[in-house]
């Protein structure tokens, strides 16, 4: 155990589902990411690790890339014969990019998993997740708005944000901007400091603005820059809204909505492979000029909470 106490955040994966590059995509970003000389580095699927002592970590969203993410980040390496600094995992929705990594966390390692009842039902409905032996893995059903200890000394709270059910559970056209237990944001509190993690969000309304205003850090859904980006890139038929994600740009976009607020660090994460902010250009420059940061694998968001 170290004596220092603070908030430590570590972006394990900054990309949205599919990652950068995505296996079957030859778009400009994916081609650049496959070329080590391009300056555009590969980015893995959406996940954030947090700690307050640097020794015990919680993982927010279990990406399919979690095994490589743990190899790449030495703070997550085991220190004894069978061990992991990862003590808990929290899942913010049932999408494959946030859920599938649970399958990697088999291996009879004690672990606390925190999910809403709705996300817990998805896990229960898929016997493959029985790989997580309940003798070692304790699952906690978290009620919205009720604080709980994600790690000793790290208080968390889940709240509904507009979203939709996972793609594999769609039955006809899904309700968009659904608010409930399907898609949640996370509030983390350490000694008065507030950090918000919202990797999926279809709309920023007044209640959400009021909640996150004054935060010390916000990691927010940066899936698409423009709502029709996938269509314009020629890689798909779906808008950002249809996927449950609001665009960054435009009058209804997150850039405009979040710029009104007093938030010390604003970081886009869950960035789709098609998003132009992965490369140098006017879109990336616009964000940086507005005081936003673009997340990347290995990014650290640390601050001392004693001050």
Closer residue to a copy of itself, CB minimum distance, 41 or 189: 41
Would you count residue 137 as binding a copy of itself (CB under 8 A)?
no
Nearer to a copy of itself, 159 or 296 (CB): 296
Binding residue (CB under 8 A) for a copy of itself from 71, 117, 210, 232: 71
CB closer to a copy of itself out of 114 and 129: 129
Question: What's the DSSP call for residue 183?
Answer: S
8-state DSSP, 50: E
How far apart are alpha carbons 161 and 66 in whole angstroms? 25
Q: Which is nearer to a copy of itself, 230 or 246 (CB)?
A: 230
DSSP letters for 218-271 = EEEE-S-SSTTHHHHHTS-S--TGGGT---SSSTTSHHHHHHTS--SEEEEESB
| Interface with a copy of itself (CB under 8 A), residue from 38, 55, 117, 128 | 128
* 62 near a copy of itself, judged by CB under 8 A: no
Could you say which residues in the range 24-43 bind a copy of itself, by CB under 8 A?
24-27, 30, 34, 42
When asked if residue 105 is in the footprint of a copy of itself (CB under 8 A), the reply is yes
Asked if 55 interacts with a copy of itself (CB under 8 A), we say no
Sign of CA dihedral 179, 238, 260, 266: positive
Indicate the SS3 state at residue 302: strand
Cβ-based neighbours of 46, under 8 Å, separated by 6 or more: 13, 14, 15, 16, 17, 61, 63, 97, 98, 199, 269, 270
- Residue whose C-alpha is closest to residue 200's, from 256, 241, 233: 241
Task: Find the binder of a copy of itself among 117, 168, 207, 214 (CB under 8 A).
Answer: 168
Nearer to a copy of itself, 103 or 141 (CB): 103
Residue 266 CA, distance from chain mean position: 14
Token pair 């004693």 is found at 306
Choose which of 96, 149, 231, 286 interacts with a copy of itself (CB under 8 A): 96
Binding residues for a copy of itself, rule CB under 8 A, total 55
The contact pattern for a copy of itself, residues 174-213, with x = CB under 8 A and - = no contact, is ----------------------------------------
Helix (H, G, I), strand (E, B) or coil at 97: helix
CB 40, CB 281: distance < 8 Å: no
> Segment contacting a copy of itself (CB under 8 A): 64-72, 275-283, 290-298, 299-307?
64-72
Q: How far is the CB of 80 from a copy of itself (least distance, A)?
A: 5
Per-residue contact track with a copy of itself, 229 to 248, x per CB under 8 A? -----xxx------------
Report CA-CA distances (Å) from 18 to 49, 229, 278: 19, 16, 14
Give the residues lining the site for a copy of itself (CB under 8 A): 18-19, 21-27, 30, 34, 42, 45, 64-68, 70-71, 74, 76-84, 86, 96, 99-100, 103-109, 122, 125-131, 167-169, 234-236
């Amino acid at each position: 155990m170290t004596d220092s106490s603070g908030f430590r955040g570590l972006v394990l994966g900054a990309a949205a589902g599919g990652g950068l590059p995505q296996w079957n995509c030859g778009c400009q970003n994916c081609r650049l990411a496959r070329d080590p000389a391009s300056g555009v580095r590969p980015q893995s699927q959406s996940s954030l690790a947090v700690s307050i002592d640097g020794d015990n970590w919680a993982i927010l969203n279990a990406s399919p890339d979690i095994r490589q993410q743990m190899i790449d980040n030495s703070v997550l390496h085991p220190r004894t014969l069978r061990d992991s600094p990862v003590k808990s995992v929290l899942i913010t929705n049932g999408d494959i990019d946030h859920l599938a990594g649970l399958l990697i966390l088999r291996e009879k390692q004690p672990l606390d998993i925190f999910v809403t009842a709705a996300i817990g039902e998805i896990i229960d409905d898929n016997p493959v997740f029985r790989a997580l032996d309940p003798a070692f893995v304790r699952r906690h059903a978290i009620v919205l708005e009720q604080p709980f200890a994600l790690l000793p000394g790290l208080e968390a709270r889940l709240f509904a944000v507009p979203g939709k059910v996972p793609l594999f559970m769609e039955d006809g056209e899904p309700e968009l901007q659904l608010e409930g237990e399907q898609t949640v944001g996370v509030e983390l509190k350490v000694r008065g400091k507030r950090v918000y993690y919202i990797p999926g969000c279809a709309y920023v309304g007044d209640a959400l603005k009021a909640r996150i205003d004054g935060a010390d850090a916000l990691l927010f859904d940066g899936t698409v820059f423009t709502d029709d980006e996938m269509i314009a890139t020629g890689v798909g038929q779906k808008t950002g809204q249809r996927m449950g994600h609001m665009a960054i740009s435009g009058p209804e976009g997150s850039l405009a909505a979040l710029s009104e607020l007093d938030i010390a660090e604003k970081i886009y994460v869950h960035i789709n492979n098609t998003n132009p902010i992965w490369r140098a250009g006017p879109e990336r420059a616009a964000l940086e000029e507005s005081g936003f940061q673009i997340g990347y694998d290995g990014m650290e968001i640390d601050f001392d909470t004693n001050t």
